[in-house]
Amino acid sequence: MTRMTLANAPEPATIDDARAVSRTLASAFGDDPMMQWFFPDETSREADLGRYFTTLFTRQYGLHGVCERTASAAAFWVSPEGADKAVPDAETIQELVEILGDRAPAFREAVMAAAEHGPTEPHWYLAVIGADPAARGQGHGSALLRSGLAKADAAGLPVYLESSKPDNLPVYEHFGFKVRAEFTLPGGGPVLWAMKREPRTA
């Protein structure tokens, strides 16, 4: 069992943390198949990912989601109460289109494809979670997972996520998630796994 330390203890992430959060997530998702699909240019990927996560955090999840961070990881959650507000507005979509460039259509199709597999009942959604590769194995991601899952359990609600990284599936399964769908993103994209975890009671 990984010991909780001050460095990996979750704390709320505020808009003032945008630079650190975006830098952490850009490092975390550099080898993620879906992000490599959206940002195929290796020379600019980390910078583009930084802009991408900055936009998501400052314009979407940081305003209407439940965002937490540790010294080396970050997670964006959406509760049922925030689901309607967490949908990106026109300005956010325009920023993402500019960041994605000619990959914007692929991104749009991926979002639509993933939406077809989401649950219809009230649930918590784990939109983003990632740890800096330099700190993997130190419990940062697990601490953030436990924190968010505890909130969902307290509300008696399931949790839903998507992952395009096969190595992450056993980790999520360890925390009670089960694969409910496996599908390939349109246009020759990577495989995406939709996973759901039922609430647990104390």
**Which domains are present in the chain?**
11-197 (3.40.630.30)
pLDDT confidence of residue 152:
98
Q: Report d(CA 201, CA 127) in Å as an integer.
A: 23
The DSSP call for residue 120 is S
Q: What is the pLDDT of residue 167?
A: 94
pLDDT mean over 133-144: 93
Tokens of 44: 């600019």
Tokens 């259509």: give the residue: 105
Predicted model pTM: 0.94
